[in-house]
């Protein structure tokens, strides 16, 4: 090679730079890529190993497969496990799966009412029919309690109000006739369902059509649901009502509502006769007569002629009485009082209310007197 060729080769080498250095850099980059690939492969193996451990753990516990993610989150058993079993045990308890939704029942009660207002007995029965229920007790005097009383026009406590989820239960179709729907909730019609009454929240309504003894502005209202054909009513009327009216006079207003069982033989006729006598201002003497002769007319298949005779003997206008009685003039009013009794859950007579307090059928005159004095003293 001549001197010129040697010079051209050196110039070319300078332009290309140091190929050995480039080769070294390329080798260095290749080593780094290999290291990264190795780390990724190791991480993947770790992930695969974790997955295998979880899978083996699931196979070990069988149907009660515990999802690791749910355990971390505090979620408990996995949805897969819960959907594949009906009964399982955990922490010493046996858990049973139901296909029905959870239903919230708001229970209105009053601690001051004591044992009479405890809902335990009813709740036990409801739990048997609706095992997915969740109870929430509410004081009837609280803001929410008062709102519910107003919303459903509740007359008694304890009261039971279901959330709308009850619509999706088997119980709903059977209980619907005893439920009142307001908004997104249902209240049990306690009286119609036959639930025990712990305390009345309101007194029976008094209308202008009711049989009333005493002024409308009387301080205390006494409302009696009575049945002229009942021996218990006869005893209560003679031993409690008569002396009460004599002693308290205008201090109270006495209201009588005819209330008799549908199966009674002469209940309607006696009620009509009493109403017609009241139309002439003669209710009390006529009621005295009906109760006093109960054993006589109660055994007659058709006591109409007897009742007309009573009207004549007591000095009523017989023509007006007969017209009123024969036309059943007050039948609609009697139907109203029957409905009143049903709404208040009256199971038997006599039923005497002093304000909102229902007196026991076995109450003596002293019991009633004590209740009246308390009401008048307030």
Per-residue pLDDT tens digits of the chain, which is 378 residues long: 556 555 665 655 555 455 444 444 444 455 455 555 565 666 666 666 666 555 445 544 444 444 555 544 555 566 666 677 778 777 788 878 888 899 999 999 999 989 989 999 899 989 988 999 999 999 999 999 999 999 999 999 999 999 999 999 999 999 999 999 999 999 998 877 888 888 999 999 999 999 999 999 999 999 999 999 999 999 999 999 999 999 999 999 999 999 999 889 899 999 999 999 999 999 999 999 999 999 999 999 899 999 999 999 999 999 999 999 999 999 999 999 999 998 888 989 999 999 999 998 899 999 999 999 999 986
How far is Cα 171 from Cα 187, in angstroms, rounded to an integer? 14
User: Which tokens go with 227?
Assistant: 């049945």
Q: Which of 194, 201, 205, 203 is nearest to 108 (CA)?
A: 201
What is the length of the chain?
Answer: 378
List, in sequence order, the alpha helices (H) in the chain.
Answer: 3-16, 19-61, 68-73, 79-83, 120-129, 143-152, 171-175, 190-193, 231-236, 242-248, 267-279, 283-292, 294-297, 304-313, 318-326, 331-343, 365-377
How far is Cα 355 from Cα 372, in angstroms, rounded to an integer? 9
Residue 342's CB is within 10 A of a number of other CB atoms, namely 13
How far is Cα 367 from Cα 292, in angstroms, rounded to an integer? 24
The CATH topology of domain 103-200 is Glutaredoxin (3.40.30)
Non-local CB neighbours of 305 within 8 Å, separated by 6+ positions? none
Spatial contact of 297 and 318, defined as CB atoms under 8 Å apart:
no
The dihedral through the CA atoms of 311, 312, 313, 314 has a sign that is: positive
Q: Coil, helix or strand for 287?
A: helix
How far is Cα 311 from Cα 297, in angstroms, rounded to an integer? 14
Instruction: Give 157's strand partners.
Output: 199
Answer whether CATH 3.40.1010.10 is correct for domain 211-377. Answer: no
How far is Cα 61 from Cα 14, in angstroms, rounded to an integer? 73
């Amino acid at each position: 090679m001549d001197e010129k060729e040697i010079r051209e080769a050196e110039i070319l080498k300078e332009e290309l730079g140091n190929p050995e250095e480039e080769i070294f850099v390329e080798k260095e980059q290749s080593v780094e890529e290999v290291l990264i690939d190795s780390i990724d492969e190791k991480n993947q193996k770790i992930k695969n190993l974790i997955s295998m451990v979880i899978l083996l753990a699931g196979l070990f516990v069988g149907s009660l497969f515990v999802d690791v993610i749910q355990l971390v989150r505090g979620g408990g058993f996995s949805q897969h496990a819960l959907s594949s079993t009906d009964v399982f045990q955990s922490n010493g308890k046996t858990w049973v799966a139901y296909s029905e939704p959870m239903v919230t029942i708001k229970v209105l009660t009053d601690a001051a009412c004591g044992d009479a207002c405890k809902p335990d007995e009813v709740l036990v029965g409801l739990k048997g029919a609706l095992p997915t229920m969740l109870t929430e007790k509410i004081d009837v005097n609280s803001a929410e309690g008062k709102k519910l009383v107003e919303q459903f026009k509740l007359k008694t406590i304890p009261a039971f109000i279901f959330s709308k989820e009850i619509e999706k239960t088997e119980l709903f179709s059977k209980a619907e006739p005893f439920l009142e729907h307001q908004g997104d909730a249902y209240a049990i019609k306690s009286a119609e369902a036959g639930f025990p009454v712990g305390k009345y929240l309101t007194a029976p309504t008094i209308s202008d059509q009711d049989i009333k003894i005493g002024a409308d502005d009387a301080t205390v209202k006494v409302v009696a649901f009575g049945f002229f054909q009942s021996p218990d009513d006869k005893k209560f009327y003679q031993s409690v009502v008569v002396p009460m009216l004599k002693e308290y006079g205008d201090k109270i207003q006495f209201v009588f509502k005819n209330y008799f069982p549908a199966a009674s033989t002469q209940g309607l006729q006696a009620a009509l006769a009493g109403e017609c006598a009241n139309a002439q201002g003669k209710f009390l003497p006529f009621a005295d007569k009906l109760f006093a002769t109960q054993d006589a007319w109660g055994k007659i298949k058709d006591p109409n002629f007897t009742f007309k005779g009573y009207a004549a003997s007591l000095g009523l206008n017989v023509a007006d009485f007969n017209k009123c009685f024969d036309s059943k003039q007050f039948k609609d009013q009697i139907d109203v009082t029957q409905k009143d009794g049903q709404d208040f859950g009256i199971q038997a007579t006599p039923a005497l209310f002093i304000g909102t307090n229902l007196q026991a059928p076995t109450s003596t005159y002293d019991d009633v007197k004590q209740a009246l004095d308390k009401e008048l003293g307030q």
